[in-house]
A and B are shown apart, each in its own frame.
Chain A
Amino acid sequence: MEEVLLARWQFAITTVYHFLFVPLTLGLSVLVAVMETMYVRTGNETYKTMTKFWGKLFLVNFIMGVVTGIVQEFHFGMNWAEYSRFMGDIFGAPLALEALSAFFLESTFLGLWIFGWDRLSKKMHVTCMWLVAFGSNLSAFWILVANSFMQSPVGYALRNGRAEMTDFMQVITNPYVWGQFPHTILGGLVTAGVFVTAISAYYLLKRRHLPVFKPSIKIGLACMLVSTLLVMGTGHLQAQFLAKKQPMKMAAMEALWESADPAPFAIAVVVDQNNKKNSFEIGIPGALSFLAYDKFSGEIKGINELQEAAEKKYGPGNYTPNITQSFWTFRVMVLSGLWMMLVAALGAFFFYKKRLEESPFILKLLLWSLPFPYIANSTGWILTEGGRQPWIVVGLQRVSEGVSTNVTSTEIWISMIGFTVLYGALAAAAVYLVRKFILIGPVDEKPVLSVLTKKKEATLWN
């Protein structure tokens, strides 16, 4: 069993790390494209400086997402070979489609964008960034199609000892995807909105490069305000969908042990998972029923009843995810979202009143909101994936059945430590660069190259 635990840890570490970079790529590609469009439309050089500045930060982030993404594709086969055998017929298709339709697009056109400033017409150049944005967000769609099947399998039949696809349209129109995809895309826009706003706020505080960062913060705040509202809305719809389709995840994130009608919304609990109860809880009566069904009545199934039903259906076993984790990751995500929405509204209000520059307190609030999208993105995924335990594919395969049988714990230890150390070092390098670029600011491009004369040359010949 040690291998299962290690493989899970490895997946958790590499995936959460990967997803630190992905949302910013999704959202910032759109914002950089918007900025460049403004440049092309108006011919205003300030917008070009702006595009280049945010573009530079985008590139650092993008490459981190790309290289950590390769690990993602490989380790389904490396650590989860039995899962891959069981699910390959369904899971492989969206993955291959992701590479074919999205990865080629974003990587090729980003190469054109980086090196094409002087070789392409302005319109062609900005089109490249729009295609990068389209490709990135399309890749999110395909991987969420794959993930949604794991959460809520549709369009399949169990044959030949595995899940086989019977209806491709059903797989890609899985209602679960259409809850998850907008929420993820909007989460990306929230991340980018906060990123642009926070860094712009830093410059406004320092009163540096105002011509670039006043329009930047406008774009950032607008994006942040609209997308935090919409992300909340889509999240709400997703939760209502969960109440119907994944009642156990719903009960877990509410720490609701006994079925209740109307069900209260718990504000804080202390979970006693061994004794299947909460040793402490405070809540708002009826509020959970309201959130789930838009009215103050309606039954929400409790963990104990769902556990019993699962035992009847699948045989003896533990079908309850970690309740403390589900409960608190959900609340941390929601609170981070609310905080960002509040701060965006405040910022937008002060901007509208033309008092933002003279309000250091608001600017500082905006600056220090930078960690929140990252917290919300990570806790959201920990909730989603943790909440489907013990299943790797809900109802079809358990996590313990999906792990590779021929990979030893030593091998997983080596790769896990290796990735962790490597990722740590790369994060340090990336943060160093981003910090440096921010300190330098959007200076007029001096030649990136300074001739460095090296005393010791590497030689094989001559």
Chain B
Amino acid sequence: MELNVLWFILVGVLFTGFFFLEGFDYGVGMLLPFIGKNDVERRIVINTIGPFWDGNEVWMITAGGALFAAFPHVYATMFSGFYMALFLMLVALILRGVAIEFRSKDENSKWRGTWDWMIFLGSALPALLWGVAVTNLIQGIPINEKMQYAGTFFDLLSPYTLVGGIAFLLVFLFHGALFLTLRVEGELIERSRKAAVKIGLLAALVFLSLVGLTYANTDLFKSGLATSALWGAVAVFVAGYILLWLKRYGWAFTMSGLAIAFTTIAFFSGLFPRIMVSSLDPKWSLTIHNAASSAYTLKIMSFAALALVPIVLAYQGWTYWVFRKRVTAKELEY
């Protein structure tokens, strides 16, 4: 296989892993103030992602690093073009990380309350912004002949991309609520289930409008793989919702995860071989060829990635095994 294609797939895999894992982290973070009615419950909710969230966030860092290494022009154009959006995302991620770590280290209720809302905000904003970003990539943004972004922050916001943002946010919320049903006990399960039931319905509606708007605004449906993946995402999402009704939480969570994975696959295969679509002229789109690193660098990085990714998957998987038990109020050591 051509290495440029391999790296496109690898970047896609990293984003899929990132959205799957951070999807429930963001969801749990957004649900925190609503599911956790008192301090103990809030700590329980945070501890459901406590051992994992930082490792999950590295998926995003790695996806960014992989973009830089394999497709430096994409990294340069995207990060300078999405400047203000990324600034907001950074602020949100900084607040979120610090909040998770700091909130329980003081007993003052104002201290804890403030950090809890930071966790909420720090989870909601990136979820929304990632949806806006992904839909912008495929819809096309003003990229000129010099590979430079020629628009402003507000050019990134359109009805389509906003629906994209809200859809991501809601799907992550649903995913997070299902994650909670697997990780908490007693009354909290019921509360998470109720939340998932309500959010799921809304998420399904918005997601369907995203599918419709994608049809109207992009050329994603020209790709057979993308079309099947997107409809596949709709199907597993609905299946997840039904399984939730049947209280088969493990399967429901698997389905919401698959929905996220299929959506990511759909957008990536819809883009292929482009990575950023230019709305000014299709010729000026950034592709896996004109934006890539040299063949030598791609080769070196391929060896490294193929050697390291399985190891990372193994030990991260082991972490989930170690912390497979539900989080209970009795065992809140941290």
Contact = CB atoms under 8 A, between A and B. Distances in A.
Interface of A: 59-60, 63-64, 66-68, 70-71, 73-79, 81-82, 84-85, 87-93, 95-101, 103-105, 107-112, 114-120, 159-160, 164-166, 168, 404-407, 411, 414-415, 418-419, 422, 426, 429-430, 433, 436-437, 445, 447-454, 457-462
A79 B76 CA distance: 9
B301 A93 contact: yes
Nearest to B60: A70
Interface string B275-289: 000000000000000
Interface residues of B, number: 83
Given A98-B65, A107-B58, A405 B148 contact: yes
Interface in B143-169: 147-150
Interface string B237-253: 00000000000000000
A405 B81 CA distance: 10
A96 B66 contact: yes
B294 interface: yes
A120 B72 contact: no
Given A418-B91, A451-B39, A63 B101 contact: yes
B76 A77 contact: yes
Contact of B316 (A108, A159, A448, A453): A108
Contact of A115 (B50, B106, B112): B50
Contacts of A109: 315
Contacts of B296: 164-166, 168
B280 to A, nearest CB: 14
B69 A81 contact: no
A449 B39 contact: yes
Contacts of B95: 422
B81 A406 contact: yes
B94 A78 contact: no
Interface string B105-128: 111010011000000000000000
B47 interface: yes
A103 B148 contact: no
A373 B67 CA distance: 35
Contacts of B2: none
Contacts of B69: 88, 92-93, 95-96
B226 interface: no
Nearest to B151: A406
B105 A60 contact: yes
A96 B91 contact: no
Contact of A74 (B34, B62, B79): B79
A99 B39 contact: no
B68 A116 contact: no
Contacts of A462: 191, 194
Interface in B9-24: none
11 contacts: A74-B64, A84-B79, A91-B68, A95-B65, A104-B62, A108-B315, A112-B51, A115-B323, A404-B76, A406-B81, A415-B87
Nearest to B304: A97
Given A78-B83, A404-B83, 18 more contacts: A63-B98, A70-B90, A73-B64, A74-B86, A76-B79, A77-B79, A84-B72, A99-B62, A104-B315, A108-B319, A114-B51, A164-B297, A419-B91, A422-B95, A433-B102, A447-B332, A449-B39, A449-B332
A105 B78 CA distance: 28
Contact of A448 (B57, B319, B322, B334): B334
A81 B194 CA distance: 46
Contacts of A454: 38-39, 109, 113
B286 to A, nearest CB: 11
B327 to A, nearest CB: 10
Tell me the dominant secondary structure on chain B's binding face.
Answer: helix
A66 B90 CA distance: 12
Given A96-B301, A433-B106, A454-B39, A426 B78 contact: no
A60 B297 CA distance: 37
B218 interface: no
B83 A411 contact: yes
Contacts of A98: 65
Nearest to A71: B90
B292 to A, nearest CB: 9
Contact of B101 (A60, A78, A118): A60
B68 A88 contact: yes
B109 A118 contact: no
B77 interface: yes
Given A70-B94, A429-B98, A453 B61 contact: no
Contact of B57 (A92, A107, A404, A461): A107
B277 to A, nearest CB: 17
Contact of B97 (A63, A414, A415): A63
Contacts of A453: 38-39
B51 A71 contact: no
Can you list the 7 inter-chain pairs with the closest CB atoms, starting with the nearest? A88-B72, A77-B79, A92-B69, A92-B68, A96-B65, A111-B51, A81-B80
Contacts of A460: 34, 195
Contacts of A405: 148
B293 A89 contact: yes
Given A114-B51, A406-B149, A461 B97 contact: no
B52 interface: yes
B29 to A, nearest CB: 13
B68 A95 contact: yes
A112 B54 CA distance: 11
B73 A449 contact: no
B224 interface: no
Contacts of A107: 54-55, 57-58
Contacts of A436: 105-106
A81 B97 contact: no
A436 B107 CA distance: 12
A70 B334 CA distance: 25
Contact of B37 (A437, A447, A449, A457): A457
A458 B294 CA distance: 53
A275 B111 CA distance: 55
Chain B CB within 10 A, most for which of A59, A92, A96, A445: A96
A93 B69 CA distance: 5
Given A101-B308, A110-B54, A460-B34, A165 B297 contact: yes
A119 B322 contact: yes
A66 B308 CA distance: 21
Contacts of A457: 37
Nearest to B33: A458
B198 A448 contact: no
B323 A448 contact: no
Given A67-B93, A454-B109, A414 B333 contact: no
A418 B80 CA distance: 17
Nearest to B329: A449
